[in-house]
Structure 1
């Protein structure tokens, strides 16, 4: 047995108000994928269940959206019909675009066919003025179509990960000039419109390493992933970005970066190493971001982490497993109060950066797979969405919250085994690492004790574990068939929604005591009815 876990508080305890950051935004692959019926159906499903209010994707200006064409006579044709179709449908379901401005259309790009299966033109424009004209025409178009009051609630983020060579075949100074031009034309339309960046990749250590992972600046040998968290980690380009914008009197309404806890960029040119940081890497990184923004020339800038997951690989089998769901829950709860949004990358396995996934469970990022089967991480966001807006108690095993309007309580708990001191390791070639991680740890007792409740108040307890609500476990039980038949797909959808539910009641004195044994990686929700 592992040491018991407990969550205890009084319903009358003074709460700390907070804004949930986990359901502000969610990611998607590229804009053109949103033209598919199944993509939109899945978008509606996850937003209704998980409460996401914005969605962000790449490729808004890619050729398959037909937004920009330079004609033989020197004229330019702008066409926003495909964008309109996507934005209209999103807004109709109550979801707003978190606009990523990129990549360049072919006719504008200095280099073409650079990144992803769909050959994004991830290079600066041949003429930054043409880029500015496109951004201006697009922004004015959406203002005209949707009204300024609506578009004032949107975010305009310039590019994606310009510090990494695959995603930007240009220099830091070229990106800064693109940001300058974008900010100028957007603010000229209405200075209240929100623009931000630099949308850089995951954090890097201050130290530099050679091939043997030796820190040559501090003469410290780094041999394990745990050693990495003894170093000072920092976001890429952020301080230079602040300085550039301050010196040039440019606005920064929000900052963005992508704090993946694995697969970190080795340097600002995208050379990298596959390493896994400590389990507390994300809350540490987000707390540092808050500190840096507060001390910057833009202390009022919002902080939006527009990509984040347990790893940055769309072929990491761990994404399909229960341990990924538990890690996501823990990292989000541990980060309360640090950021304005932490956007999970991505909501669906309809995702084609590396082409289509070959199997139903191929380690894609999605909260749901290609066949719309919910994965365990879907349940994480669904349960997070049940939490209130006042934090009453928080421990290593979860949190208890209260709804300020109704006074009702809602809690989430998880068994993240203490034997696992890191973020869950990636499983990139086979499922072996993911299976070994799933088998780590021991069962333990989880206790809830709530006092000062209304007498006889009712609660529902929900458990997600390998026997309840885990689509991958259900798939393994039927022999891992691939491809799935229609009947098998329906069976797995049903299994994925078949969580363990039980109802409980406080006693006449207003006390609720619950105790249950949970296996490693279990997720538990307790909600007052």
Structure 2
């Protein structure tokens, strides 16, 4: 049994929900996307959202034309305004990613993803700088400087990979960073700009070379960013992918890497943002839909805030089209939610975290114990991914009362698991409304409650964990308010009158 101390050992902080990822920004114009984000914000409440494509052609910002024999550029923000307005109405702010290249500003034809994001350097760095400056200035004009100061602005995405940046040319990226960072701070020097949004596979020298470059040039850099994934080579099947996974602890090692690499550089001590993380980097890997995935990520979501300032789950919804339009409701998408707002087990991991307290009382390999300002205690516990059948036994501090009310909410292979129900239905590609209702019902976690005695200011909670279970246990003292005449033995009118002082039956 683990005896949980009454004095906190730290604070939980908000790094786990500081940001969440999204499909390319123009998808935010869709009804399903906005309904999914509204649900997410009601039950979890992320603070920022990051996605690709702000400057890609689908958002229509960069609009070159000819007039009187000369090339001109009009900057249009029709879609940008609709997307950002919708975000702010839902209580979530942009984590701005500057990318990808507009087609008519790109120096080459190379693209990434089904939707064709251009990934070559600009044909004119002056025109690129003007585009960034105009976009940031518009955001400041529309939403106010004080608001936009809270939006980190990240330059590009994974430039160390040739699929995202032509030839993975670091010198060319440095030039892009310089043009972008100066354009941002031309609008206002207090705006946050940073990068380089490296992939998990970046060599150890990429970040230190970036640090040396920005120091040497005296460039603004307010944060450092990278990504984290743990999957091996893709084993492709039609409309899907299977991969091996490294232990989940590898994600935490990747979270810790930037601070280790930047020791002794001018960027040491800057905020570190993991602007993408997940198990697999593929949006068609069925592991994303499973209870295994929730159990796999539980220690990462519970402990990542000890290492970085934010870590952004990639992504909140399956409204996402990097490898094409999904062909089935469950297709291995990154999302916490499927299309049509069916919750996955990993969604519940985040929803459980949203019900944790600020004070950390204890941490372990399979549990996190927190306390709320009003004294309630919340315990997040999980089975090791692929395992179950063990019990977490905790003695919790309860300074007041004779009994506690215990509420438990759980997901595992059977419970809170729409994927299991969908497979048993026959894996319908496009379920009708009746089946969708069934799946949403199957996605709800199981809930139970009971009372426990308090002895010597402690309550002992035993949490037996099933295969791939993630559970939230909430504990608070009982304040009995039943009147003295209440007696459940008399619900149907039987039994004798009880005299005052006989106490209440429970």
Residue 60 of structure 1 corresponds to which residue in structure 2? 54
Q: Are 2:499 and 1:501 aligned?
A: no
The verdict on how the C-alpha distance between 1:450 and 1:286 changes in structure 2, with shifts beyond 3 A counting, is: same
Residue 225 of structure 1 corresponds to which residue in structure 2? none
SS in 2 for 1:135: helix
Distance 1:36 1:8 in 2: 50
Distance 1:17 1:67 in 2: 42
The verdict on how the C-alpha distance between 1:393 and 1:203 changes in structure 2, with shifts beyond 3 A counting, is: farther
User: How many residues align structurally?
Assistant: 464
Residue 405 of structure 2 corresponds to which residue in structure 1? 458
Distance 1:122 1:522 in 2: 41
- The CA deviation string for residues 29-76 of structure 1, in whole angstroms up to 9 with x for no partner, is 101111101101101111221221111010111111110121122111
The answer to which structure, 1 or 2, has the higher relative contact order (CA under 8 A, 6+ apart) is 1
Residue 78 of structure 1 corresponds to which residue in structure 2? 75
Q: Are 2:339 and 1:370 aligned?
A: yes
Moved more, 256-265 or 64-73: 256-265
Among 23, 30, 34, the alignment partner of 1:29 is 23
Residue 162 of structure 2 corresponds to which residue in structure 1? 165
Among 399, 414, 419, the alignment partner of 2:382 is 414
1:39-54 matched pairs, under 5 angstroms: 39-54=33-48
The verdict on how the C-alpha distance between 1:281 and 1:498 changes in structure 2, with shifts beyond 3 A counting, is: closer
Distance 2:348 2:194 in 1: 31
Distance 2:413 2:179 in 1: 51
CA contact (8 A) 1:461 1:504 kept: no
Distance 1:336 1:153 in 2: 19
Q: Are 2:166 and 1:175 aligned?
A: no
The verdict on how the C-alpha distance between 1:7 and 1:483 changes in structure 2, with shifts beyond 3 A counting, is: farther
CA contact (8 A) 1:136 1:186 kept: yes
Distance 1:509 1:274 in 2: 50
Distance 1:253 1:451 in 2: 42
Distance 1:505 1:306 in 2: 42
Among 304, 307, 316, the alignment partner of 2:273 is 304
Distance 1:97 1:442 in 2: 39
The verdict on how the C-alpha distance between 1:247 and 1:263 changes in structure 2, with shifts beyond 3 A counting, is: farther
Among 124, 128, 133, the alignment partner of 2:130 is 133
Residue 471 of structure 2 corresponds to which residue in structure 1? 524
Distance 2:268 2:315 in 1: 29
SS in 1 for 2:105: coil
- Which consecutive unaligned segments of at least 5 residues does structure 1 have? 1-5, 207-233, 266-272, 418-439
Distance 2:244 2:66 in 1: 50
CA contact (8 A) 2:405 2:449 kept: no
Residue 247 of structure 1 corresponds to which residue in structure 2? 216
Q: RMSD value over aligned CA atoms?
A: 2.0
CA contact (8 A) 1:56 1:97 kept: yes
CA contact (8 A) 2:288 2:332 kept: yes
Q: Larger C-alpha radius of gyration, 1 or 2?
A: 2
Distance 1:347 1:323 in 2: 18
The verdict on how the C-alpha distance between 1:492 and 1:275 changes in structure 2, with shifts beyond 3 A counting, is: closer
SS in 1 for 2:23: strand
Q: Are 2:102 and 1:108 aligned?
A: no
Residue 188 of structure 1 corresponds to which residue in structure 2? 186
Residue 215 of structure 1 corresponds to which residue in structure 2? none
TM-score (normalised: structure 1): 0.84
- The CA deviation string for residues 266-305 of structure 1, in whole angstroms up to 9 with x for no partner, is xxxxxxx966333311122222323334533123311110
SS in 1 for 2:340: coil
- The CA deviation string for residues 466-501 of structure 1, in whole angstroms up to 9 with x for no partner, is 221111112233333332111000111111114233
Distance 1:361 1:188 in 2: 45
Distance 2:391 2:430 in 1: 39
SS in 2 for 1:22: helix
CA contact (8 A) 1:112 1:120 kept: no
CA contact (8 A) 1:7 1:400 kept: no
Among 359, 364, 381, the alignment partner of 1:390 is 359
CA contact (8 A) 1:402 1:409 kept: yes
SS in 2 for 1:276: coil
Q: Are 2:328 and 1:359 aligned?
A: yes
Residue 255 of structure 2 corresponds to which residue in structure 1? 286
TM-score (normalised: structure 2): 0.87
Q: Are 2:459 and 1:512 aligned?
A: yes
Moved more, 276-285 or 376-385: 276-285
